[in-house]
Amino acid sequence: MKKPHIAITVGDPAGIGPEIAQRAATDSSVLDVCDPVLYGPPADQTFQPGRLSADAGRAAYDTIVRVVEDARRGVVGAIATAPINKEAFRLAGLPWNGHTDLLAHLTGASHVAMMFYSEALRVVLATVHLPLADVPKMLTAESLAATIRLTACELPKFGYPHPRIAVAGLNPHAGEHGLFGHEEDTAIRPAIDACRAAGIDVSGPFPADTLFARAHRGEFDVVVACYHDQGLIPVKLLAFGQAVNVTLGLPIVRTSVDHGTAFDIAGRGIADPESMVAAVLLAARLAHGRT
């Protein structure tokens, strides 16, 4: 089978992205399964490692726009992205909070979700980069049902033809029948009931303090978490450096690392490329599936 061309972006050029992208592109396990193509700013643009700047944010954005255009035209079979910096985006006057919402905008995707994939645990986030105080009002039955449906549709691509989906409760003990909150009754259970009626194998809401251990033991194939840290803490505890961020719902394949720009070590040549390599390998696997 012909090896796919996989784009690897350098992310924010002042972070660790350029070095982990370069190391992933020359990794033997990557070269065995794909032909990597590096995407970054023009060679005559220079950036000071570890320095937050609007120029770096704009350069990262321009690279993403270019690679998405190539992916949509079939020039590359998938995209694996190094991390961008949200503050640099803001300094550059860009309104997006990260890759996920920017990629949805660029591709016209109506509903996307962030999944962290690892052999140990798979988690889909119902809400992403929100202040914790805003999560309850953004976690509606309609939005959660859309995320559950998207998860059920996308998981077969990852080797789970009939995914068993569990949904975490928002509140301690999943609300305990209204003692500790009502979102489970007003939003989460209605979403689960609607999806079960449509034939999706989904259950919950379950107390989050035990649910991720149950999923790790194999009781469920994927957990839908209510908010960012609820889902990412268990993933990073079990598989930091091996987990891959995947955007569900796009018309193209996009994977990414499970960490940030790490300005504190940028340019020192000590950044670990493990997650970048894992992202490229998964992108190649998914690109093979599409072809």
Q: What is the pLDDT of residue 290?
A: 60
pLDDT, tens digit, for every residue of 168-203? 999 988 867 877 779 999 999 999 999 999 999 999
- The CATH number for 279's domain is 3.40.718.10
Q: Which domain holds residue 175?
A: 126-241
Q: In this structure, are 210 and 263 located in the same domain?
A: no
Distance CA(217)–CA(121), nearest Å, equals 9
Q: Is residue 182 part of a domain?
A: yes
Q: What is the pLDDT of residue 241?
A: 86
Q: In this structure, are 46 and 100 located in the same domain?
A: yes
Q: What is the pLDDT of residue 170?
A: 95
**Which SS3 state, helix, strand or coil, does residue 81 take?**
strand
Q: In this structure, are 216 and 133 located in the same domain?
A: yes
Mean pLDDT of 67-81: 97
DSSP state, residue 27: -
Domain boundary among 199, 217, 241: 241
pLDDT, tens digit, for every residue of 252-266? 999 999 899 999 999
Q: What is the pLDDT of residue 288?
A: 84
Distance CA(262)–CA(239), nearest Å, equals 18
Say if residues 168 and 229 touch (Cβ distance below 8 Å). no
Could you give phi then psi for residue 152, rounded to 5 degrees? -60, -35
Tell me the C-alpha to C-alpha distance, in Å, between residue 288 and each of 3, 35, 45, 154, 281: 8, 12, 34, 15, 11
Q: In this structure, are 233 and 259 located in the same domain?
A: no
Q: What is the pLDDT of residue 115?
A: 97
Tell me the C-alpha to C-alpha distance, in Å, between residue 96 and each of 39, 67, 93, 99, 139: 20, 17, 9, 8, 20
Q: What is the pLDDT of residue 38?
A: 97
Q: In this structure, are 81 and 146 located in the same domain?
A: no
Q: In this structure, are 71 and 158 located in the same domain?
A: no
Strands 254-256 and 244-248: what pairing? antiparallel
Say if residues 126 and 225 touch (Cβ distance below 8 Å). yes
Q: What is the pLDDT of residue 172?
A: 87
Q: Is residue 171 part of a domain?
A: yes
| Backbone conformation region of residue 250, classed left if phi is above 0, alpha if psi is from -120 to 50, else beta | beta
Domains held by the chain: number: 2
Q: Is residue 121 part of a domain?
A: no
pLDDT, tens digit, for every residue of 125-171? 999 988 999 999 999 999 999 999 999 999 999 999 999 999 999 99
Q: In this structure, are 218 and 180 located in the same domain?
A: yes
Q: In this structure, are 222 and 268 located in the same domain?
A: no
Q: Is residue 117 part of a domain?
A: no
Q: In this structure, are 164 and 92 located in the same domain?
A: no
Q: What is the pLDDT of residue 48?
A: 96
Mean pLDDT of 226-237: 96
One-letter amino acid at 216 equals H
Q: In this structure, are 51 and 84 located in the same domain?
A: yes
Mean pLDDT of 221-230: 97
Q: In this structure, are 228 and 137 located in the same domain?
A: yes
Q: In this structure, are 96 and 138 located in the same domain?
A: no
CA neighbor of 226 nearest in space, from 126, 150, 109: 126
Distance CA(66)–CA(39), nearest Å, equals 8
On average, the pLDDT of the chain sits at 95
